[in-house]
Structure 1
């Protein structure tokens, strides 16, 4: 039986599981790009070899990277690249975005533009705005907003992977993002992120009183084998990818801490996974357990106070406050700082007032 060869879209692959100095949009949804059913006479064969023989332009290194990222499924379960395909196995390649057949529709969505020139623009993304179209979010995203805003720019094509988003932040994280308007700008900026020469600082409210005023968290980050919706830290061995987060305590507020995090790497959910790993999950981070009352008292009045805090800031308390890079055309150092959004500001004020008026 002659096998059907499918075209491997390497640009799509690079976007969907990069080496991964790009935070994802937070949805963690996966969409099937390719599906193959092994025939009845299939001999045992490594899944990376199985796919390499069926996908045009696919190298085994790229397929192995897909497996490491949890993007290769056999019978709907993620497998490693050394899995041996058996007769009638269903092998799928899935990604965090749909295939690029869908049209990106320009939409008049307000953008908070911090800076713009002919090469790039910097936006301050609000919490709740999905970065890129995906399942359940084909419209109403930052990419749709950019398609409308740059609709008269003859050089900007929202469907061209050589343009647009250079990095990403989660849907419910607010803060600064840089967008490239020309291919040369994206290539240059992407290299800066890859080589870790950009400056990125976040502020966050986390559960617990952090003992040290500052420190560094080092621990490989990869997909949680028991929960694919989460990333997890692998402190030893070669699982996951190197991840380094530097933190500084800005203020201790009773049972929570207001901190600054500086990224040395930019793995998926890096701050969220690292802070959970050291026992200080982000406040109201539902995916990592921060939406529970983790510290404090058992009194009903305190519980009500925390529930009110969750209502004031109904998302993980994380904001990408600072972004710095070298301008791809001028070589000038660019550094941008954003205001703390109202929900985070109100959340911090509530804890400050609680500390000042209550006996903890």
Structure 2
């Protein structure tokens, strides 16, 4: 539609499924961003803005299937201030980039993807950061109208489960779940030395460290934001290192890394917060050993998204070298309020490992029968 036609023609739009439940003013920001809130308010005040024939206000919630009547577009004078900034086009992804993005997917449904992000890949772009998850999301759009949207982040060197919304409706739902602390996340980490308490909670406020350009955080009792982390020791290798489960109950930047360093047990490979002490000898990888093992969050269509992400190679090899069995970590349950005893963990680990072996044996038999 040309500007001349738009200035003379009343427009009608059908509210799509992706816009179900959003406010009318948000609909304009999403679909007609050139229309100011002042204009939308004026149209509503004068009765020109209507939903299914009834007068509408900017705060009305839309329902999929409704018809939105919008007045003709107002012509904006061609002044330097009013001129629209050219939209930066994203470069098309190569076949390798597209395949890489799709290989990260470990769960997919109509509303969400869960990716297993590898270490070393940033979640979003920034200064001198050109390779990132956000830049690969075009590969996951498929036939959807909108591009997938990030709803939380993982540090560049942290691997594991990363939730991505497939629709704007899902993005709003998941964002509310994360801000309301209803999303549950479990991380695995190797830490230096062994805590004297096997199961503990760290409550230390965190703020940006002055003089670092906001790239590093620190504990700040006076002006920091509240931050709370639970840790549980899964296994230990003498007094040298421990394998722990971490659950953040707040979502501060670098929270797990800052908290573990603050209690004297930096995450293995985290030189930023642990310095030279964060690196172990004996062939243990110098990469950071922090992995988002599991994510559990309510699904916008009912039920839950509950996904486990496999370990990256360096972390799996370190566990093996230290004599740790991954089944022991999965034996812990996400919603446990009281810590299990070490004997209970071992019993569960054996049961879990037996179940996995049984499933794999069944798969081999099925493949054999299929032949």
Give the TM-score category using the shorter length.
0.5 to 0.7
1:58-107 deviation per Cα after TM superposition (whole angstroms, max 9, x unaligned): xxxxxxxxxxxxxxxxxxxxxxxxxxxxxxxxxxxxxxxxxx84636434
Q: 2:126 aligns with which of 115, 131, 134?
A: 134
Give the total of aligned pairs: 234
Report the Cα offset of residue 306 of structure 1.
0.6
Q: Does 1:176 align with 2:167?
A: no
Secondary structure (helix, strand or coil) at the match of 1:346 reads helix
Q: 1:248 aligns with which of 232, 240, 260?
A: 232
TM-score (norm: length of structure 2): 0.59
Q: 1:342 aligns with which of 310, 313, 324?
A: 313
Report the Cα offset of residue 222 of structure 1.
1.0
Provide the C-alpha distance between the structure 1 equivalents of 2:92 and 2:271, rounded to a whole number of angstroms.
Answer: 31
> Tell me, which stretches of 5 or more residues in structure 2 are unaligned?
1-35, 38-86, 325-371
Q: Which has the higher strand share?
A: 1
1:332-353 deviation per Cα after TM superposition (whole angstroms, max 9, x unaligned): 1221112222210111222339
Residues 179 and 246 (structure 1), Cα distance of their counterparts in 2 relative to 1, 3 Å cut = same
Corresponding residue for 2:297?
A: 325
Corresponding residue for 1:149?
A: 140
Q: Does 1:316 align with 2:303?
A: no
Contact 1:293 1:306 in 2 (8 A): no
> Tell me, which stretches of 5 or more residues in structure 1 are unaligned?
1-55, 58-99, 158-162, 296-304, 354-360
Q: How does 1:198-209 map to 2 (within 5 A)?
A: 198-209=183-194
1:301-343 deviation per Cα after TM superposition (whole angstroms, max 9, x unaligned): xxxx71621xxx3321100001000001x22122111222221
Q: 1:103 aligns with which of 78, 90, 93?
A: 90
1:212-238 deviation per Cα after TM superposition (whole angstroms, max 9, x unaligned): 01000001111112434311112x33x
How large is the RMSD of aligned CA atoms in angstroms? Answer: 2.4
Higher relative CO (Cα under 8 Å, sequence separation at least 6) belongs to 1
Report the Cα offset of residue 208 of structure 1.
1.1
Stretch deviating more after TM superposition (257-266 or 335-344):
335-344
Provide the C-alpha distance between the structure 2 equivalents of 1:253 and 1:102, rounded to a whole number of angstroms.
Answer: 51
Contact 1:202 1:322 in 2 (8 A): yes
1:99-154 deviation per Cα after TM superposition (whole angstroms, max 9, x unaligned): x846364342413211111211111111111212222232x32122221232x334
Q: Which runs of 4+ in 1 moved over 6 A?
A: none
Residues 242 and 145 (structure 1), Cα distance of their counterparts in 2 relative to 1, 3 Å cut = same
Q: Does 1:230 align with 2:230?
A: no
Q: Which has the higher helix share?
A: 2
Residues 154 and 322 (structure 1), Cα distance of their counterparts in 2 relative to 1, 3 Å cut = closer
TM-score (norm: length of structure 1): 0.60
Provide the C-alpha distance between the structure 2 equivalents of 1:120 and 1:279, rounded to a whole number of angstroms.
Answer: 38
**Rg (Cα) greater in structure:** 2
Contact 1:109 1:145 in 2 (8 A): no
